[in-house]
Amino acid sequence: MALTHKQAMARKSASLDELRDKFKRAKIAILTDYRGDGKGLTVKEITALRAKLREQNGEFNVVKNTLAKKVAHELGITELDGHFENPTAIAFGYKDPSTVAKALSDFIKERKQRPPYVKAGVMEGTVLDPKGIEALASLPPREVVYQQLLGTMIAPHQALLRLINEPGRRMASITHQISEKQPTEAVAAEA
């Protein structure tokens, strides 16, 4: 049963709203060609990729190029126009961009030169090429970066604290050594 024009327009409007919402919420959106030159991804492979991305608070959606291009234009991203050709799927990341990029990159490396191929990406308004996506994938997760930054910020304070405590620690050590020597000297004096 074919859709009426009104039903088709309602479906298109709903698809646009959903895609618009995903682009707005996403910290990163990575455009991929999931079909490529030869055989594309199977349903099983797409399901596996979706599961990997879901673990990283992301998702993988096949999109219509015309709708995705329209949403990108609405959001002021015109640099992606040349990438909305051939079959396109977008990996959206809603939390940490590097973990989603890494999950996609690892999946691609496992496939050894078969699709999906990264076309481009957009991260918080900045367009990234495939090399930029790969560089992002090589970064440690946000939590690790925060820990490293915190360690760097705390290190001078810890060194200063050790320096301040050192005279007291030396005095306590000397006092302890003297107190250990006195009982043996007292016993020797008594004999």
pLDDT digits (tens, 9 = 90+) for 94-132: 998 999 999 999 998 888 767 788 999 999 888 999 999
With respect to residue 76, please indicate whether it lies within any of the assigned structural domains: yes
* 89 and 119 assigned to the same domain: yes
C-alpha dihedral sign at 120, 57, 123, 68: positive
* 120 and 131 assigned to the same domain: yes
Amino acid at 69: K
Domain hosting residue 183, numbered range? 141-191
Quote the pLDDT of residue 36.
Answer: 61
Q: What is the pLDDT of residues 18-39, one digit of tens each?
A: 999 999 999 999 999 888 656 7
Quote the pLDDT of residue 189.
Answer: 57
Quote the pLDDT of residue 8.
Answer: 85
* 75 and 127 assigned to the same domain: yes
Which element (helix H / strand E) includes 159?
A: helix 142-190
* 18 and 86 assigned to the same domain: yes
Q: With 70 as the cut, is the pLDDT of residue 59 above it?
A: yes
Last residue of a domain, one of 103, 122, 139: 139
* Maximum distance among all Cα pairs of the chain, rounded to whole angstroms: 115
Q: With 60 as the cut, is the pLDDT of residue 74 above it?
A: yes
CA atoms within 13 A on the CB side of 6: 0
Quote the pLDDT of residue 150.
Answer: 85
Task: Between 71 and 39, name the one with better pLDDT.
Answer: 71
Full-model pTM: 0.72
Amino acid at 74: E
As a whole number of angstroms, the distance between CA 120 and CA 69 comes to 13
Asked if omega into 116 is within 30° of 0 (cis), the reply is yes
Are the C-beta atoms of 33 and 120 separated by less than 8 Å? no
Tokens of 45: 């492979």
Report angle CA 143, 149, 150 to the nearest 5 degrees: 90
With respect to residue 1, please indicate whether it lies within any of the assigned structural domains: no
* Phi, psi (degrees; rounded to nearest 5) at 32: -130, 155
Q: What is the pLDDT of residues 138-191, one digit of tens each?
A: 888 777 778 888 888 888 888 888 888 888 888 888 888 888 887 655 555 565
Domain count within the chain: 2
Using alpha carbons, select from 146, 42, 35 the residue that is nearest to residue 85: 35
